[in-house]
Amino acid sequence: MFGAEANCIPKWVQSSIAIAPRNCISNSGISLMSRISTPPSVSLPQPYYSSSLSSPFTLHFSLNKHNTRTLTYFPINASSNSVGSAEYTEESATKVKFQTTLDLPSCSNSLTLLGTGFREKVFAIIGVKVYAAGLYVNSSILSKLNSWKGLSAAEIKEDSSLFSTIFQSSLEKSLQIVLVRDVDGKTFWDALDDAISPRIKSPSPVDESGLSTFRSIFEGRPLKKGTSIFLTWLDPSKMLVSVSSNGLPSSVDATIESGNVCFSLFDIFFGDAPVSPSLKDSVANGIATILK
């Protein structure tokens, strides 16, 4: 999931492949809406999954009194490939929708989405998408990036000092990971640990404590499709972890106070060998667009 590719197909992958093709959508509500010509408004949990719609409708979202997102269709040009509204961005490979701004526990300001991507594991010759991810930052961080103004997305992507500047900022940034299939909590942790371990070769007691706290969140905990995991860096040595099965979290599951663990998690996604190249590409594109 995060580290080296496996050479066999785990049971959780086999079962998911047997159930439906990779592009099949299991949400019956979504399937029903795609078959009718003028769909009504429906409420869906956030985030949710949708098929690519061929009908000339776009989607509009609003928040109702039950704190669910209401989905409504509005006509647009049939040739448009966009799905969503100004409040959401869709990660194209997984169809997961990310809010363009987030308000998270213990963050003093709203966070802005910079880019999205997905993680795909290859088992034997089968590519299996495991999760989608989006990076959010306190928008004030962008004022610290003026030195890169005018650079292309490709130049930004290869400049490790830019991503180091983002990480070293004392302003909040958060990575939202949305699972697109069921994953056992231990499997998820083991993948994280495999990626973290090479980055912390001689862990200190503080590092060990942080890793133990992190491990305890996931071991023995089933993670269902649609579960969101938020890694929120308050500063370079303090990270909050929240897990939510239904939209945004209302609380923090754990606080990690190890600079090495905090950096390792950021480096897994935005270092020289990111586990999700599409996420780093998208973030670089987002930054390049903002700094034009």
Number of domains forming the structure of the chain: 1
Give pLDDT, residue 105. 87
Residues in the chain, pLDDT under 50: 4-84
Residue 51 is assigned to a structural domain of this protein: no
Give pLDDT, residue 151. 97
For residue 167, give the CATH number of its domain. 3.50.70.10
Q: Which residue has the tokens 């985030």?
A: 47
Give pLDDT, residue 29. 35
Write out the DSSP string of 239-259. EEEEEESSSS-SS-SEEE--H
The domain of 123 spans 89-290
Residue 21 is assigned to a structural domain of this protein: no
Instruction: Give the torsion through C-alpha atoms of 180, 181, 182, 186, to 10 deg.
Output: -70
CA dist., res. 109 & res. 38, Å (int): 39
Residue 4 is assigned to a structural domain of this protein: no
Q: Comparing C-alpha atoms, which of 42, 46, 51 is closest to residue 73?
A: 42
Diameter over CA atoms, the chain: 61
- Residue pLDDT, tens place only, 159-170: 999 999 999 999
Taking a C-beta distance cutoff of 8 angstroms, is the pair 136, 114 a contact? yes
Neighbours of 212 (CB within 10 A): 9
- Residue pLDDT, tens place only, 209-239: 999 999 999 988 999 999 999 999 999 999 9
Give pLDDT, residue 34. 34
Taking a C-beta distance cutoff of 8 angstroms, is the pair 176, 233 a contact? no
259-270 and 185-196 helices, crossing angle to 10°: 90
pTM greater than 0.75: no
Residue 71 is assigned to a structural domain of this protein: no
Residue 37 is assigned to a structural domain of this protein: no
Residue 142 is assigned to a structural domain of this protein: yes
SS3 category, 192 = helix
Residue 203 is assigned to a structural domain of this protein: yes
